[in-house]
Every structure is written in C-alpha cells, then in structure tokens.
Amino acid sequence: MKSYRKELWLATPTRRAYVNITSQVELALAESGIREGMVLVNAMHITASVFINDNESGLHSDFEKWLEKLAPEKPHAQYAHNGYEDNADAHLKRQIMGREVVVAITEGKLDIGPWEQIFYGEYDGKRRKRALIKIIGE
C-alpha cells in the first residue's frame, strides 16, 4: 500500500470564508500516483471545517446566515469560552460543519457525485491555517 501526505496552507482575508479546494485535492492525488484507494481531507484547526457541498454562491450565503442564527459571532460576551478569545462562535460553527471528508479514489480520480465539491470552511480567519490531505491506496 502507498501513502501520500500533503498540507494545504490557507489564509482568508475575512473572518469567515468558503474556499473550493477540489482542484488542490485532485493535484495531490495526481502527485501521489495512487489509482485505487481513499483520500482524507481535514482541517487542522478547531475553528475551520472541511466539507462537501455545492459550489453555488447563494448556498454559501445561506450557510453564513444559518450559522449566524445558530451561533452568532456577537456579542462576544455571550460565550463562556470568550474569556481571552473572541472565537467561541467559530468553534461552534466548525462543530456543525464538520472536521473532515473521506472520498473514494477510483481509476485515479476522485469518485464524487456530479455536484459535489470539497470546501475549506473558515470561521476565524485572517491568518495562515492548514488543511491535511492524506491518501492511501495503490
């Protein structure tokens, strides 16, 4: 069995953002040379997510509104976590949107549905953060 590991560095200019990383995962898959197996992609931070959904800006706007209803950023003082930090909402948003995705690899390609794209979801950005790509197979 072969394995391949790669870190993606991301720095969003805004506190919250969705970045389509599908092409970067496909690049890592090509670099790995693996034809049959699995790829795991996970955020390496507790205030960011990796998830799969539609690459449609209206939906991303809906995510923003929905998450702000569930875990509004402000007022910061509403959260017990915000003693020395102001990012309790970001931890909660990450919990809802998930940490990682696993995708099958078939004949050297990501075996995903026609509308499925892989996103990095940022909830406490404006700094450099990482996502991990781990591919195993043969």
Binding site for Zn ion (CB under 5 A): 85, 87
For Zn ion, the closer of residues 35 and 130 by Cβ is: 130
- Kindly give the interhelix angle for 57-70 and 88-97, rounded to the nearest 10 degrees: 120
For Zn ion, the closer of residues 6 and 91 by Cβ is: 91
Min dist. Cβ of residue 7 to Zn ion (A): 21
Min dist. Cβ of residue 1 to Zn ion (A): 37
Query: Two tokens at 1?
Result: 């069995």
For Zn ion, the closer of residues 5 and 127 by Cβ is: 127
CA 35 to CA 106: how far, in whole Å? Answer: 6
Min dist. Cβ of residue 49 to Zn ion (A): 15
Q: Are 135 and 34 in contact (CB under 8 A)?
A: yes
For Zn ion, the closer of residues 87 and 117 by Cβ is: 87
3-state secondary structure of 82: coil
Query: Two tokens at 3?
Result: 């394995």
Min dist. Cβ of residue 83 to Zn ion (A): 10
